[in-house]
Structure 1
């Protein structure tokens, strides 16, 4: 039975029409040979008068109210062809404006776009979905599109239509679940949301999942924005990055939270202490260069409603948070880092999302991005919802988001948060709170496949980037390529080392000899993955104490203990990460509501601690032995790992060239060890290149860097020679063998022995 116009008009008025374009706009209502009767229809429920402007002859034609309240129609009989027109709308106050009709434009999103999206393979779908300013048929406006397959109706609401969901109803493109509407005159800076009529008939206002920018919390509207106006100046960096083997390069990461690294002296009008991205960049980049870090890692900068989540509960995956400024301001930060040789890594959260009603939760009235069953779709530990990684469109959303950050913001790496919660179905769940996979196990097969697809995709587009897994369990082959059965990450956070090591250095030194394995066990598995050694934000919150306050003993011992802790970390195989404030020995835990205690640098011991970390980075960056062979036993060798009575360990770090070798000796007790001997591989002089007990670092010895030590012809620790030393308390000593310019008989053992 043919649908009558009045029925379609009724469905538009009641908000039940999934394709208002079949009625609104210009349509042929009858045809007689070459002559056609044309109808122009519009829906403006609050208008006093609506007129059609025939652009060809610049004449206005009044439209008659017809079919339903707010529906207007004008008939143009005996026309040979469709013609270009505009609408003049006059409101109840007598104000009028002229615009092109949103319902006079053909779809922009192609069938191929829809096909790729439904397959989960549209890696740049963010260029289609969301809000995009464009010009169509010489008309400038904004194309809005969103995926909401179960919605009864989707409308664009914003400051351009008085937030009236009746005004700009979208059309659904077939069975794709994608809704689209081009609205003339809507421009960058306009506010908008999607008003969704759910299958139950309720109306919900949702932020755009693909929005590039959003209002500052607590406001929730998305903002029309273009990301193509910023002029980048980092080509040299990107070319160098693509040519760099990150596995054999130095990677020393400074982790920070933008909102509290540096703050305003007084709260602003919103009660915030936040600086703009540009101001932060101008302060941060010189500091990072001075300290010698190679990369910064930012706690999530994606839009989020709750400050206390630190950004880990995301509502705007494609939007940098407006707390600190605009997208261009953040681009400036990244650009300035790159121009100064500093890489930028973002924390990224593809595991879960918050329940906020304006976000992804039950987006179209159904469990769209999450699972329907709460045993699969809810995270009891964090009170969040779990992404349905088995749904193609959800995978597409997340993978395209990863591509987006590399493409649009030139990011150098993503640290993927909470990987363990993704790959284990029973993570943080009790029996009965989770559903086994089809084989009866606890592996999340869909999430595993997603991670493999994610890493394969981004590495296919970008060279020299990093994908870093924060995985707290013992899942095998996290950093092996998918074609070998791995997940394909570049690096993995070494959580096992971190837990053991912090437990060890936090205990009273008198007990350390009974727990010596806590600092040696990590070398049993150190090369099973490509590890990053992390002393991160998670370890200096929630009553865990700051790094300095983890150290036992008096004031002096705390600083000395922290120096040997960092020294051992930099000597241990693996890339490095340290959280902000830890480099100068902040006493209190990190507080996300206040800035760091930079005033502590007015005190000698804190300033000297900062100098020590700076010199550690300098040592690290200038000696290939510390980074060139991080993921193989070829780069590490114990000299002595068994002296638990003295809580001393000694080891070698080696580069590709054996002449780059360094010797580390760490004393984890406050006792001085005179005449302490370790085995030495070569009969050479050994230059002391770092002593954490130097006065310039807060110790009590004069700066003795460059002092030479000669080996003795006494075999020890399986070595043909030995070094006799005095080990200062709670200290790390680093030596460099002084080889001759050419190999001589002084070398008594081959490099392979």
Structure 2
């Protein structure tokens, strides 16, 4: 049982913006007073004249359980005996004008199933975790020098039952986890699971930040899901939304009759592009609420990291606003100074508690040093989505292959900045919805070329420095764009082309896991070398990826046209024998079967500024990867002066 009344030290820290586990003080907690079990309810509502608890236990009559103000800054609390787990409740708030408003608990651990809007009493204690091996492994490895290939999932539409109902957290712990492990992904990224009223917001407009959505089960069922992921060696990342919240009446908007979680100034508060409200980062209690929430998912649910949504909307005051609503900060600029400080404090705090956490910024801006430490002037994230790479690649792949030569820079420009941040390369849900078409259907050409084009896109992504992310369905060629109320078109796997693409994605993922050259030096320039970025005429790129072992490297050739090159010469750094390690054009993947069998021996012909070269077959619309099996390196000769010194 928890302590009964919030202690002064915690109240002080909460009002200072420094209570980083404020969920232990606020909300509904099973407790005991004088041997009587019940629930202590605590809520922040500084503008309220009165606050009461209503629920099934008092027939929703607030006069029975008024709360006491225990803080001059507006924290209210009451112990209600003989109330237990599962009870529905809300806060009945009497505003300064005497109006009654009924609010869900901002710190509730569980919520009534939609369309209901009440909170539910729930104890998070008692789950026995079995992920100790995973936790120890995380502490021993460097995320920067390890493989990270993320499968992005919307739990409500990955799969549905024949009657249209959802799979539960526990059912997904079997089906989804087994699928992800078999496919060779290292992490699952979940679209937001904080409670939200509207399915089509995908969770990005929340009402219950501490309440894992009841759509798929109870909180301990979600613990079981995460636990199963970890037992199978799969990390779990969750999308997290500190930039804005929904306006629904039972949520955070004007929580105690006045703006509280949002800015007092309506121009500052409004996010007109999304119809939502911005958190007020000048209020210390809001900072305590949000940073505590980030830690909550790690403390309670063992989440491995957060993908922080819409960071650009936090960084800039006028993000998404019409020009007539533009405002300036105290320095005359467009930056949201307090939100920037919040992000720095968030990351500094999270890494203080969890040094091996993943904090990923979904940031579409050109803000510098997003993944630099706070003490070095950065925002303090350890990863950033590479939106520039994604936009350039999808723009390039949409061009008719015969005209791609004029846009070759879209393939190569990302290498100018790829080491400026620690990047994740995302092909996410945002790119396959709202009329943007699925990845497969973005590819130009006939049916065969569409599949070949998607294979080379995925192959190029796997070879490009940076961690990887793919939204569900992309791995088997979902033809329709994401239908956010229906499940994926799994029946497509009854067709050879889709089944072959799934096999390709699986083999490509497992190749990635097996080859340290594809991830060990992702964030260091030493891990990448161009062989030829300039074959614009034929839309071919050739480069090397390297691991820490100087003898371990891969040569990756990407052909972005449907033209076959049976005798294409590439430069290589060392004499010896090479083999084709992987070919997206293999017949088993639905390709034309133009392979490079056997051992390939180098020629003493300088090419691409390399001392040796190979003649290879480059299939149409393909990624082909070569690996040395025996090489000879020249022995460095000591100069005369060095020799004298040694003697």
**What TM-score bracket applies, with the shorter chain setting the length?**
over 0.9
Counterpart of 1:179 in structure 2 is 76
Instruction: Choose the corresponding residue for 1:729, options 620, 629, 635.
Output: 620
Q: CA deviation at 1:435?
A: 2.0
Counterpart of 2:278 in structure 1 is 386
Deviation by residue 1:716-747 (Cα, 9 ceiling, x = unmatched): 1111011111211000100111246xxx5567
Task: Decide whether the 8 Å contact of 1:292 with 1:614 is kept in 2.
Answer: yes
Deviation by residue 1:41-77 (Cα, 9 ceiling, x = unmatched): xxxxxxxxxxxxxxxxxxxxxxxxxxxxxxxxxxxxx
Instruction: Choose the corresponding residue for 2:124, options 210, 227, 233.
Output: 227
Counterpart of 1:157 in structure 2 is 54
Counterpart of 1:570 in structure 2 is 462
Instruction: Choose the corresponding residue for 2:473, options 578, 581, 601.
Output: 581
Task: Decide whether the 8 Å contact of 2:11 with 2:71 is kept in 1.
Answer: no
Unaligned runs of 5+ in 1: 1-105, 268-272
Q: Does 1:329 align with 2:329?
A: no
Q: CA deviation at 1:214?
A: 0.3
Q: CA deviation at 1:463?
A: 2.9
Instruction: Choose the corresponding residue for 1:253, options 144, 150, 161.
Output: 150
Q: Does 1:144 align with 2:35?
A: no
Residues 174 and 286 from structure 1, CA distance in 2 versus in 1: closer, same or farther, beyond 3 angstroms? closer
Separation in structure 1 between the aligned mates of residue 112 and residue 305 of structure 2, nearest angstrom: 26
Separation in structure 1 between the aligned mates of residue 517 and residue 74 of structure 2, nearest angstrom: 55
Residues 121 and 739 from structure 1, CA distance in 2 versus in 1: closer, same or farther, beyond 3 angstroms? farther
Instruction: Choose the corresponding residue for 2:538, options 646, 652, 662.
Output: 646
Q: Does 1:520 align with 2:412?
A: yes
Q: Does 1:449 align with 2:341?
A: yes
Q: CA deviation at 1:107?
A: 6.6
Counterpart of 2:95 in structure 1 is 198
Q: Does 1:341 align with 2:233?
A: yes
Separation in structure 2 between the aligned mates of residue 166 and residue 218 of structure 1, nearest angstrom: 26
Separation in structure 1 between the aligned mates of residue 306 and residue 139 of structure 2, nearest angstrom: 16
Q: CA deviation at 1:633?
A: 1.1
Counterpart of 1:27 in structure 2 is none
Counterpart of 1:77 in structure 2 is none
Separation in structure 2 between the aligned mates of residue 623 and residue 248 of structure 1, nearest angstrom: 12
Q: CA deviation at 1:622?
A: 0.9
Separation in structure 2 between the aligned mates of residue 526 and residue 707 of structure 1, nearest angstrom: 34
Q: Does 1:376 align with 2:273?
A: no
Task: Decide whether the 8 Å contact of 1:683 with 1:748 is kept in 2.
Answer: no
SS at match of 2:449: helix
Counterpart of 2:355 in structure 1 is 463
Q: CA deviation at 1:684?
A: 1.6
Residues 107 and 200 from structure 1, CA distance in 2 versus in 1: closer, same or farther, beyond 3 angstroms? farther
Separation in structure 2 between the aligned mates of residue 471 and residue 213 of structure 1, nearest angstrom: 30
Larger radius of gyration: 1
Q: How does 1:55-454 map to 2 (within 5 A)?
A: 108-267=5-164, 273-454=165-346
TM-score, normalised to structure 2's length? 0.97
Separation in structure 2 between the aligned mates of residue 397 and residue 339 of structure 1, nearest angstrom: 31
Separation in structure 2 between the aligned mates of residue 536 and residue 730 of structure 1, nearest angstrom: 22
Q: CA deviation at 1:456?
A: 0.7
Q: CA deviation at 1:432?
A: 3.0
Deviation by residue 1:449-485 (Cα, 9 ceiling, x = unmatched): 0001001111111132100000011110000000000
Task: Decide whether the 8 Å contact of 2:4 with 2:31 is kept in 1.
Answer: no
Q: CA deviation at 1:570?
A: 0.3
SS at match of 2:551: helix
Q: Does 1:506 align with 2:403?
A: no
Task: Decide whether the 8 Å contact of 2:574 with 2:633 is kept in 1.
Answer: no
Separation in structure 1 between the aligned mates of residue 177 and residue 225 of structure 2, nearest angstrom: 8
Unaligned runs of 5+ in 2: 639-647
Task: Decide whether the 8 Å contact of 1:242 with 1:462 is kept in 2.
Answer: no
Deviation by residue 1:663-707 (Cα, 9 ceiling, x = unmatched): 000000001113111111111211101000000111121776x63
Task: Decide whether the 8 Å contact of 1:160 with 1:186 is kept in 2.
Answer: yes
Separation in structure 2 between the aligned mates of residue 311 and residue 514 of structure 1, nearest angstrom: 40
Counterpart of 1:713 in structure 2 is 604
Instruction: Choose the corresponding residue for 1:666, options 540, 551, 558.
Output: 558
SS at match of 1:231: coil
Deviation by residue 1:579-610 (Cα, 9 ceiling, x = unmatched): 00000001000011111011111111111101
Counterpart of 1:11 in structure 2 is none
Q: CA deviation at 1:312?
A: 0.4
SS at match of 1:477: coil
Separation in structure 1 between the aligned mates of residue 546 and residue 503 of structure 2, nearest angstrom: 25
TM-score, normalised to structure 1's length? 0.83
- Structure 1 runs of 4+ with >4 Å offset: 744-750
Counterpart of 1:546 in structure 2 is 438
Instruction: Choose the corresponding residue for 1:487, options 366, 369, 379.
Output: 379
SS at match of 1:260: coil
Separation in structure 1 between the aligned mates of residue 53 and residue 109 of structure 2, nearest angstrom: 16
Deviation by residue 1:319-368 (Cα, 9 ceiling, x = unmatched): 11000111111111100000000000000000000100100000011110
Q: CA deviation at 1:134?
A: 1.2
Separation in structure 1 between the aligned mates of residue 124 and residue 630 of structure 2, nearest angstrom: 54
Separation in structure 2 between the aligned mates of residue 434 and residue 136 of structure 1, nearest angstrom: 53
Higher RCO by CA contacts (8 Å cutoff, separation 6 or greater): 2
Q: CA deviation at 1:136?
A: 2.4
Deviation by residue 1:176-229 (Cα, 9 ceiling, x = unmatched): 210000111011111100011111211000000000000011101100000112
Separation in structure 1 between the aligned mates of residue 598 and residue 107 of structure 2, nearest angstrom: 60
Deviation by residue 1:615-658 (Cα, 9 ceiling, x = unmatched): 11111111111111111211111100011100000001011112
Task: Decide whether the 8 Å contact of 1:114 with 1:176 is kept in 2.
Answer: no
The farther-off stretch of 579-588 and 617-626 is 617-626
